[in-house]
Amino acid sequence: MNYTHAQLPERVQTRLNQFGLIFDELSGYLQRAVIWDSGFAIDLFDNFVATKTSANRTMAEISIAKSDVDATGCTATPCVQPNVFVFYHTEICTGNQMLSVVKCVLAEFKLKGNKVSMWASGGDYTGAPAMHAVGHVWTDPKSGVNNSVRAIHTQDIEQTASWSECLKDAYGTMVIPCYPQGMEPTSTDITWADPPFGNLVTQWLTENSMLKAQQQKPQSTGNEETSNTSSTTLTVAVSSYCYSLFP
């Protein structure tokens, strides 16, 4: 990712500093994972966008199941990916319907017009996912009601089908809808806060910190083999980390 350590949000910098790690030295997967897991998306102009969650949810717990989308009365269109996996994306759905089931709030960011869905369940699980913050703003042509939803997309919107179609021989995207900042419900029963850090990324950072420390001092052959085996096992487990967050 084209960011230096100093350009990261303070929360991400502090987290990495605690492990003695520099962002520029991390793998691309881990860079994405630590930004996401620390509660940030990236808008279409490459700016970081903070995410708040409710009920002490981690970022791994903010996706919306299709059953929840169905319960709102929204309609979802099925599409088939090249791997024969069927995914769905919303077609007919109001902003209020979608916001009734979301679990996150996105801070304000610069919007860019689009015609893509505000919820979807697809994705290429073998690739590195994006984490784009996208604004969905429209006026219902029948009711005249203005709608405003924010969402996190794991695919560039230029590569994404519009809300009313399926692309041939193409992968879909995972889309997680959120409240726009200022529209989230507030009550004594609901608290919106920075998401707690997830265990998987914390383990991944710990592993990288240990490897970095070992590389800075002489090691015996046996220790190196043990360390490399541990690293390989963990890397395999989290190589598709961001998608594993979205059951």
pLDDT at 235 over 70: no
Q: Which residues pair with 190 in a beta bridge?
A: 187
Contact 175, 162 (CB under 8 A): no
| Per-domain residue ranges of the chain | 10-38+197-244, 59-193
pLDDT, tens digit, for every residue of 34-63? 999 999 999 999 999 999 999 999 999 999
d(Cα 173, Cα 177) in Å, to the nearest integer? 13
The pTM for the full model equals 0.87
pLDDT in tens, 124-169: 777 778 999 999 999 998 899 999 999 999 998 887 877 878 888 8
Three-state secondary structure call for residue 89: strand
How many of the other CB atoms lie within 10 Å of CB of 211?
15
> How many whole angstroms separate alpha carbon 151 and alpha carbon 174?
10
What is the per-residue pLDDT across 211-223, written as a single tens digit (0 to 9) for each?
999 988 775 555 5
